[in-house]
Amino acid sequence: MFKALLLTQPAPRETHAECVEIDESRLPEGTVRVAVSHSTLNYKDALAITGRSPVVRQFPMVPGIDFAGTVIDSEDERFRPGDAVLLNGWGVGETHWGGLAQQARVNGDWLIRRPEAFSAQDVMAIGTAGYTAMLCVMALQDRGVAPADGPVLVTGANGGVGSIAVALLARLGFEVHASTGRPEQAAHLQALGAAQIVERGSLDAPGKPLQKERWAAAVDSVGSHTLANVCASVRYGGCVAACGLAQGMDLPATVAPFILRGVSLLGIDSVYAPVQRRERAWQRLAQELPREVLQRNTEVAGLADVVALAPRLLAGQVRGRVVVDTAR
């Protein structure tokens, strides 16, 4: 038996979340069984737990798009009992039981080895959010964006993706402008490396198709009007890495920034990214993300705390990252 957060659907469009004991025989099929020591609470997890969006494709479901732990047993020759591993994405917590549990059984292709520089808690303090932030940074750099080009905007800067993106970009020498709706968190963002705070209200309402050129590039985790305004405000030849939809899935924009200023919109997918790109992102995180950022940016909770934390996260009342210690 092991503890897990289990989601059930007692009625259509109704989700019930409860921390329960589950027999290991109920684990889904897979080639590697992992003792999960740490998971996370991401935006997508919070949507699944509250039922506010149809993230979960089948019930019952154990949510949790991330986990870290050690291999218990394996049919995959690449992994042996005791190996330290981590997982991000691949549909776990949506179509396959995920990481908010003390055990998981998954396809070995979904796992990568935990970088030696990190503990299990460290990699979950980074999690899909931080790994996605690094994918965004890599995409901007692959397009040739450099600190000399001008400031880079990060939207949703107090969230999981945004806060890590601020820290990574600042340590690479970029002038980072951080957009947030929580001005009381300005000191926290400045400690992460933000040079300027941008009020969210200046970006989240309908705006002109083309606006003053302000930023060389941007990382956006918000979508909707915010993303449209960001694209309209990026300098000639700049680019925007888009990875989220906190404001909405719509994009009420025109083609003007793209055909009149040569702006590029780069879509960032972390769920099904190739293993080689994942490993590159995690290697860079191990080299470039200071440990003090994780300590400053992380809240640790237990499995039983997650149900109450989920709506708070969706309401923007949680700063940075939430690590879930499954032993609590």
Q: What is the pLDDT of residues 93-147, one digit of tens each?
A: 999 999 999 999 999 999 999 999 999 999 999 999 899 999 999 999 999 999 9
Cβ neighbourhood burial of 53 (10 Å; 0-12, 13-18, 19+):
middle
pLDDT at 128: 92
Q: How far apart are CA 167 and CA 264, in angstroms?
A: 23
Domains 2-114+297-325 and 128-267 share a fold: no
Mean pLDDT across the chain: 94
Residue 75 CB neighbour total at 10 angstroms: 10
pLDDT at 160: 85
Q: Could you tell me which CATH number the domain at 128-267 has?
A: 3.40.50.720
Q: How far apart are CA 105 and CA 176, in angstroms?
A: 40
Whole-structure pTM value: 0.89
Q: How far apart are CA 82 and CA 147, in angstroms?
A: 42
Backbone angles phi, psi at 252, to 5 degrees: -80, 70
Residue 231 CB neighbour total at 10 angstroms: 28
pLDDT band, residue 269 (cuts 50/70/90): very high
What distance, in Å, lies between the first and last C-alpha atoms of the chain?
16
pLDDT at 297: 76
For 159-195, how does the pLDDT look when each residue is reduced to its tens digit (9 = 90+)?
Answer: 889 999 999 999 999 999 999 988 888 999 999 999 9
Out of 3.40.50.1360, 3.40.630.30, 3.90.180.10, 3.30.830.10, the CATH code matching 2-114+297-325 is 3.90.180.10
For 48-73, how does the pLDDT look when each residue is reduced to its tens digit (9 = 90+)?
Answer: 999 988 889 899 999 999 999 999 99
What are the residue ranges spanned by the domains of the chain? 2-114+297-325, 128-267
Q: Point out which residues pair with 219 in neighbouring strands.
A: 154, 241
